[in-house]
Structure 1
Amino acid sequence: MTKSEIIIAGILFAGISAPLPAQAADAYPNRPIRFIVPFPPGGGTDTVARLIAQPLGEQLKQQIVVDNRGGANAIIGTELGANAAADGYTLVFCLPASVSVNQTLYRNLPYDPARDFVPVIQLNTIALMLVTANNLPVKSVAELIAHAKARPGQLNFGSSGNGSAGHLAVELFNVATGIRMVHVPYKGGGPALTATIAGQLHMMAGPMISAVPHVKAGRVRGLALLTPKRVSGLPEVEAVGETLPGFDASIWHGVLVPRGTPAAIVQRLNREINAVLQTPEMAERMATRGAEVVGGTPQAFAALIKSDTVKYAKLLKQVGMAGSVSR
């Protein structure tokens, strides 16, 4: 075959193969879909993934199989998703840690979120609450800032570990206010909360849903939500954004697919998941877990991931944590 014949054959093959993604999307799905959750079963993230999986399976008329692959701060499961076939039969559950934090925090992350994935949809947003020990003499964000500025380096805060959502939320607060508080990492949010209740820690940040029962029981003080504005379910608790306009340390959950997944399938998944999220039942179920339904377009979710990546890269560099962890 001559060079010109090879070129013509290539053009003809491209013309034949181009419609295949659309054809595949028309028949999609024709077998069960794997939903990788990069966390162990039973936790909050796993619960949200399963909330979505069942009704989404009903929408698509195929089973959604939740595949828990926890470990290494969501790296193990996310890497598995990055290397999966880009055919629409692998979905990957994500959150800021896996797609906006890890790439700066880790020196040798085995995947690149921007290169290896296509965003499908943001599922929700979750408010974090800053709770203080009852013996800390502050009752507002303004009072905390003044108290901490008068005692640089003397106040501490706990979290479920280095680079966790609660840790980075308070570091964002430190940078935004110019205060300096010492981080004390614990092996889980539960032990950090117990230490705060006991007065061994001055404060900690964690999901609102976990903190509220202890706040209502008077064991800790719910000082503020680390959000731009108050939330409807807890209107009596101020938002940090009221004192620091634009401040937002909320976390979120979303869905990705491997890069190369046909655009028609991405749009189909987005449309079907939006339909699931828009039901009153889903809004109620999310609310009981401290989450607010979001939904929207792949483009909006991509923009959120990008902005959070920039935000956390800047923060991790400011606090000396960029590249501080090796897998």
Structure 2
Amino acid sequence: MTFPTASAFNPHAARRRTLVAGAAALAASAALPSLAHTPPALAASRLAPGEQKPLTIVVPFPPGGRSGWLAQRMAVGLDAVLGETITVEHRTGDVMTRMREFARSAPDGRTLLLAMVRLPRRGVFTHDPENAVVDSLVPITVVARDPMVLVMAESRAAELGIRSVADLLRHARRHPGRLTMASGIDGSTSEQASELFKTRSRTYITRIAAAGLTPDAEAVLGGRIDLLFATLHTARSSIRSRELRALAVTSGAQFPLPGLERLGTPTPVPLLQSVAPFAGVEVYDYSALYAPHGTPPDVADRLQQACTTVLSDTAVRNLLLTNNALPGGITRAEFAQLELAEERRWRQAR
């Protein structure tokens, strides 16, 4: 599969954009001139006023998070491409409950879900009801890929003399089970990355399960847990302030942020795959759009084309890249291939 490359990133143009959440950012990012030129096939599919119910993007998490921010960006872009108002609806509470509710939505292409790729992931969650919910969803496209960064509190790293992944591996092998690693909830990208790290390096590091990335990061900062694979955007401010030490990033060589220059680190942070046990390893936290089971293929294809138009826009791409995410926009067939590849990879990690 082929994701759009990051080569078109214009940091000077990106820095001129005000990157804030909420209504101000929504209004600013609405001015996307290139999206005004909608492809004819999509223009022909625009709905007459009142023809159908509004298109809604459901986010199964509280407002203020990364998923909500991405959903708002897509809503603004789709509004320009499809010529209709797109709403974002946050449904809080148990994620699986919200997923089941979404799965029962009418398959008319008017309700989309923004979630992690295959949440929960097959091969991680073995309960049939959860798998049935996930398998019922119709993949539309990947919106963004967030790389992970392996972090440790600066004070703890200094205490143990750990300045690199090589130092970390030496310490872990000399003191098996003594180091702890936060792993978030079962099936999260952080949990999967930690399992892959231990499997590839053949080290014994004690897993500490927590409620999610934010409490995990707080536990690492507070010295209660040693290590964490966090999303780059989650750890960014603490790396900048020198509270967290970034040991490695999980992106590939094509990603423009391996050196984390904008994070103010004194020396470039290496790619995890540059360390011998992790050759070829790339880990991303994928955010994607899904439709309910039964959505007609032509409707799903039209939605995918509209999303790809949004994610191909230079302003949208720069906005995502400046916020440490690679734009998506792959086809539905490529999305299906990605899910199969991810499932195989994570089965091997456990």
The TM tier, using the shorter chain, reads 0.7 to 0.9
CA distance in 2, matches of 1:117, 1:57: 23
Q: Please give the per-residue CA displacement for 1:4-59, whole angstroms capped at 9, x wherever unaligned.
A: xxxxxxxxxxxxxxxxxxxxx95657331121212122211111111101220221
How many Å apart are 1:108 and its aligned residue?
A: 4.7
What secondary structure does 1:147 align onto? helix
CA distance in 1, matches of 2:254, 2:311: 22
Matched, 1:225 2:249: yes
Supply the AA of the counterpart residue of 1:100. Answer: R
1:159 and 1:206 in contact (8 A); partners too:
no
TM-score, length of structure 2 as denominator length: 0.76
Partner of 2:69: 47
How many Å apart are 1:285 and its aligned residue?
A: 2.0
Q: Please give the per-residue CA displacement for 1:132-191, whole angstroms capped at 9, x wherever unaligned.
A: 122332222222222212211111012444443322211111111111111223334333
CA distance in 2, matches of 1:303, 1:234: 26
* CA spacing shift, 1:238–1:36, aligned 2, 3 Å: same
What secondary structure does 1:201 align onto? coil
Match of 2:132 among 94, 112, 121: 112
Runs of 4+, deviation exceeding 6 Å: none
Please tell me whether Structure 1 or Structure 2 has the larger radius of gyration of its CA atoms. Answer: 1
How many Å apart are 1:287 and its aligned residue?
A: 2.3
Partner of 1:239: 271
Bigger drift between 91-100 and 226-235 goes to 226-235
Partner of 2:192: 168
Partner of 1:12: none
CA distance in 1, matches of 2:225, 2:148: 18
CA distance in 2, matches of 1:106, 1:67: 29
Partner of 2:175: 151
CA distance in 2, matches of 1:256, 1:186: 27
* CA spacing shift, 1:89–1:125, aligned 2, 3 Å: same
Matched, 1:279 2:301: no
* CA spacing shift, 1:175–1:188, aligned 2, 3 Å: same
1:94 and 1:253 in contact (8 A); partners too:
yes
User: Size of the alignment, in residue pairs?
Assistant: 291
How many Å apart are 1:268 and its aligned residue?
A: 1.1
Supply the AA of the counterpart residue of 1:291. Answer: A
CA distance in 1, matches of 2:59, 2:215: 24
* CA spacing shift, 1:190–1:110, aligned 2, 3 Å: closer
Match of 2:235 among 205, 211, 215: 211
Partner of 1:10: none
Partner of 1:36: 58
1:97 and 1:164 in contact (8 A); partners too:
no
1:100 and 1:306 in contact (8 A); partners too:
no
* CA spacing shift, 1:191–1:84, aligned 2, 3 Å: closer
Supply the AA of the counterpart residue of 2:256. Answer: S
CA distance in 2, matches of 1:35, 1:67: 6
Partner of 1:289: 323
% identical equivalent positions? 24
Matched, 1:128 2:153: no
Q: Structure 2 stretches of 5 or more lacking a match?
A: 1-43, 260-267
TM-score, length of structure 1 as denominator length: 0.81
How many Å apart are 1:114 and its aligned residue?
A: 6.2
CA distance in 2, matches of 1:209, 1:105: 26
Matched, 1:141 2:165: yes
Supply the AA of the counterpart residue of 1:86. Answer: P
* CA spacing shift, 1:68–1:106, aligned 2, 3 Å: farther
Query: CA RMSD of the aligned region, Å?
Result: 2.4
Q: Structure 1 stretches of 5 or more lacking a match?
A: 1-24, 319-327
How many Å apart are 1:106 and its aligned residue?
A: 5.1
* CA spacing shift, 1:217–1:95, aligned 2, 3 Å: same
Bigger drift between 282-291 and 170-179 goes to 282-291
